[in-house]
Amino acid sequence: MPKEAINIKGTKQGLVILIDPKGDFEDIKAGLKHKMESSSGFFSGAKFTLYRENQLFPAEINELESICKSYGLIPNPEAQWPPAHGTVNNKLEIPANNNIVNKYSKPGESALLVKHTLRSGQIINHNGHVTILGNIHPGAKVLAAGNIIVMGTCSGFIHAGQFGNQKAYILALRLKNVHLRIAEQLFYLNREQSLNGPIIARLRQNQITLVDYIDIRP
C-alpha cells in the first residue's frame, strides 16, 4: 500500500520522514500525501527532514519536499537520523558539535580521520573536515561542515560545507554513482558514469564543478 511507504518519527529536532528503501516513487508520493492529509493540519509548522537508506535523486528530494511544504512543513537539513550518539541499528553516527554549527572549519580546526571503508547504511557526520581512508559505498553517507577527502572510490551521498560553507570542497580518487552536495548545491553522477582522479568538486558561480586535481595544483 502507498501509505506504508512512509513512516513519520518525532525527534527533538523535528519530524523525520522515513521512506521505504524498496518503495516505488509514485507510491512514496501517494503515501506522503496520505499522511499529510490524514493529519488534518497537525504537522503544519513542524520542521522536517527526509531519510531513505537508498538515496533519492535530487529531483525526487525536491518533489517530496515540495509536497511537505505545501502542507505547512519547514525543511530542516540539520536533523539527524538515526539518532546521534553511537551506533544505532548498525549505523555509525558521529554527531556534530551543536555549539559551533554556524562556524566554518578552518585549517588547524577539527578534523576526523576514518580508517576504513564505509558500507551501505553507515553515516559519518562531523562539524569539521573529514578524511576517509577507504571507499564509500552506495547507501553510505558523509556529512561535514568543512572539506571531505576520500582516498578511494566515492559513491553514496557526500555533503561538504553542510552549514552553508561555499568554500568547502570534495576531493576523491574516483567518483561513481555519487550524490555530491556542497552548501546547498547538488550534483549527481549515475551508475553509468565514473571519473578517475584525483577529482576535486567545488562551487563555481553557484554550481558544483569537477576538475582534475592535478590540473589545478600550483
CA distance 210 to 204: 10
Contacts of 83-90 with C-beta under 8 Å, sequence gap 24+, read 83/11, 84/125, 90/121
Question: Where residue 120 falls among pLDDT bands split at 50, 70, 90?
Answer: confident
Query: Which tens digits make up the pLDDT trace of 80-118?
Result: 666 544 433 434 444 443 333 334 444 455 788 998 999
Q: What is the average pLDDT across 44-65?
A: 83
- Beta pairing, strands 185-204 & 170-182: antiparallel
Q: Give the pLDDT confidence score for residue 85 in this predicted structure.
A: 42
pLDDT at 6 over 50: yes
Structure-derived torsion over alpha carbons of residues 57, 63, 68, 74, reported in degrees to the nearest 10: 70
pLDDT at 79 over 60: yes
Q: Give the pLDDT confidence score for residue 94 in this predicted structure.
A: 42
Query: Which tens digits make up the pLDDT trace of 136-176?
Result: 998 899 999 899 999 999 998 999 998 889 999 999 999 98
Query: Which tens digits make up the pLDDT trace of 178-218?
Result: 999 999 899 988 766 778 878 999 999 889 999 887 766 54
Helix (H, G, I), strand (E, B) or coil at 204: strand
pTM above 0.75, yes or no: no
Q: Going from the N-terminus, what domains does the chain have, and what CATH number goes with each? A: 2-75 (3.30.750.50), 86-216 (2.160.20.70)
Q: Which of 28, 24, 37 is nearest to 7 (CA)?
A: 28
The larger pLDDT score, comparing residue 130 to residue 92, is at 130
Cell output for 217? 595544483
The larger pLDDT score, comparing residue 13 to residue 1, is at 13
pLDDT at 17 over 60: yes
Cell output for 113? 580521520
What residue type is assigned to position 93 of the chain?
Answer: E
Q: What is the average pLDDT across 1-19?
A: 77
111 — phi, psi (to 5°)?
Answer: -140, 145
Whether residue 218 is preceded by a cis peptide bond, meaning omega within 30 degrees of 0, is: no
Distances (CA, A) of 193 to 55, 123, 166: 17, 24, 25
CA distance 156 to 180: 8
Mean pLDDT of the residues in the chain = 80
Residue labelled with grid coordinates 490524514: 38
